[in-house]
């Protein structure tokens, strides 16, 4: 059955709430402003209409958004010691791309990026801390997976991670093409894992895989020329080549993509939509300059400015919505 997506009424029909109004975030606000007209159209008294509108408006006050505003401080779950995402810089200040995005949310809330308290936690505490309200949102290089999406609500993705190949500037090989041509003679270090061999062989099918017990040792093997390349996160490659351009180089190969998003406690679409609005604004609106500059700081790349005119991300959203409704 065809449905009016704007929730409006055709000529001669009573106004009706659509599934879009009820299921998308901000439904409480929509209901608060429209329920009075619905009751009036049904012949109900203004007292009843006002009562229902007040109830709908009050429901929105239960959102995390208003809790955070009243607290005057944003609580963010994150990590430490994982550049370029979250770490402490030479001055002992929190830094990293996750930290920068969290500060953008604080600025949107209070016009002050400093009004954020970072709660340092292990990776396995990311979901429990949300579900127990220890934090308001998690910015901690959290990979989007269907299993996790059953426990938390993910925001708009803010980065696409992948595997990359870190090489020493003194390597006998120039780049990925040279590594690939070298075949079986190439050695690649990687963090020990049951799928480590498969990960490397997806990029370099003939390479010798050297599994090591820590990321630091994976990189140390590159430093000492024990291996020709280290398979690490692409963001790590970009961070190290940005910080130490005379020491490292990027082989120029990225594979095994995954999405990074922030996460919030499920069931609060008002809060989710607010955080999504901040991220959308950062990646293509008034917050773009800050996002672009922070991206360059931590990944060493200058992103092209978003095209002026029709927002191409909206076309993707509409296409995704159409696919789900079909």
pLDDT digits (tens, 9 = 90+) for 34-45: 333 333 434 444
The pLDDT value recorded for residue 314 is 77
| Sign of the C-alpha dihedral computed for residues 177, 178, 179 and 182 taken in this order | positive
Contacts of 251 (CB under 8 A, 6+ apart): 164, 165, 166, 167, 175, 176, 179, 229
Q: What is the mean pLDDT of residues 298-319?
A: 87
The pLDDT value recorded for residue 318 is 77
Q: Where are the beta strands (DSSP E) in the chain?
A: 74-78, 87-88, 94-95, 116-120, 137-143, 153-154, 159-168, 187-191, 208-212, 229-233, 248-264
CA–CA distance, 196 with 188 (Å, rounded to integer): 10
* pTM score: 0.78
Q: Is the pLDDT of residue 33 over 80?
A: no
The DSSP 8-state label assigned to residue 86 in this structure reads B
Domain 65-152+265-325 and domain 162-257 have a common topology: yes
In a 3-state reduction of DSSP, which class is residue 231?
Answer: strand
The pLDDT value recorded for residue 254 is 97
The pLDDT value recorded for residue 313 is 77
Q: Is the pLDDT of residue 69 over 80?
A: yes
The pLDDT value recorded for residue 57 is 52
Query: Do the beta carbons of residue 257 and residue 133 sit within 8 Å?
Result: no
Under CATH, domain 162-257 is a member of which superfamily? Periplasmic binding protein-like II (3.40.190.10)
Give me the CATH topology for the region 65-152+265-325. D-Maltodextrin-Binding Protein; domain 2 (3.40.190)
- Confidence tier at 319 by pLDDT (50, 70, 90): confident
Percentages helix, strand, coil for the chain (3-state, rounded to 5) are 45, 20, 35
Pairing state between β 137-143 and 74-78: parallel
Contacts of 44 (CB under 8 A, 6+ apart): none
The larger pLDDT score, comparing residue 246 to residue 53, is at 246
pLDDT digits (tens, 9 = 90+) for 147-183: 999 999 999 999 999 999 999 999 999 999 999 999 9
The pLDDT value recorded for residue 325 is 61
Q: What is the mean pLDDT of residues 307-323?
A: 78
Q: Is the pLDDT of residue 106 over 70?
A: yes
- Confidence tier at 311 by pLDDT (50, 70, 90): confident
The pLDDT value recorded for residue 187 is 98
- Confidence tier at 60 by pLDDT (50, 70, 90): low
In the chain, the percentage of residues whose pLDDT exceeds 90 is 75
The DSSP 8-state label assigned to residue 285 in this structure reads S
Both structure tokens of 78:
């994150």
Residue among 36, 34, 110 at smallest CA distance from 72? 110
pLDDT digits (tens, 9 = 90+) for 182-204: 999 999 999 999 999 999 999 99
The pLDDT value recorded for residue 51 is 40
- Confidence tier at 320 by pLDDT (50, 70, 90): low
CA–CA distance, 48 with 40 (Å, rounded to integer): 9
The larger pLDDT score, comparing residue 51 to residue 108, is at 108
The pLDDT value recorded for residue 316 is 72
Domain residue spans of the chain: 1-60, 65-152+265-325, 162-257
Residue 40 CA, distance from chain mean position: 43
């Amino acid at each position: 059955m065809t449905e009016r997506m704007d929730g409006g009424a055709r000529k001669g029909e009573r106004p009706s709430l659509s599934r879009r109004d009820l299921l998308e975030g901000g439904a409480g606000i929509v209901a608060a402003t429209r329920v009075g007209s619905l009751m009036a159209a049904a012949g109900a008294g203004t007292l009843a209409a006002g009562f229902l509108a007040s109830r709908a408006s009050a429901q929105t006050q239960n959102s995390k958004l208003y809790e955070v505003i009243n607290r005057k401080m944003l609580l963010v779950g994150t990590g430490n010691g994982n550049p370029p995402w979250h770490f402490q810089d030479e001055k002992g200040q929190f830094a990293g791309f996750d930290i920068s995005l969290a500060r953008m949310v604080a600025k949107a809330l209070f016009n002050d990026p400093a009004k954020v308290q970072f709660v340092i936690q292990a990776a396995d505490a990311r979901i429990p801390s949300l579900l127990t309200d220890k934090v308001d949102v998690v910015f901690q290089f959290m990979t989007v997976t269907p299993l996790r999406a059953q426990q938390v609500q993910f925001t708009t993705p803010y980065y696409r991670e992948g595997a990359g190949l870190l090489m020493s500037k003194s390597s006998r090989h120039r780049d990925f093409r040279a590594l690939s041509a070298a075949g079986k003679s190439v050695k690649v270090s990687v963090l020990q894992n049951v799928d480590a061999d498969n990960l490397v062989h997806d990029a370099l099918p003939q390479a010798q895989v050297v599994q090591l017990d820590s990321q630091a040792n994976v990189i140390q093997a590159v430093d000492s020329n024990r291996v020709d390349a280290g398979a690490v996160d692409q963001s790590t490659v970009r961070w190290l080549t940005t910080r130490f351009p005379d020491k490292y180089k990027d082989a120029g190969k990225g594979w095994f993509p995954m999405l990074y998003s922030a996460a919030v406690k499920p069931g609060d679409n008002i809060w989710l939509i607010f955080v999504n609005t901040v991220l959308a604004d950062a990646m293509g609106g008034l917050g773009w300059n800050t996002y672009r500059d922070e991206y360059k700081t931590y990944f060493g790349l200058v992103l092209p400015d978003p095209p002026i005119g029709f927002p191409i991300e909206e076309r993707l959203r509409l296409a995704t919505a159409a696919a789900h409704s079909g």
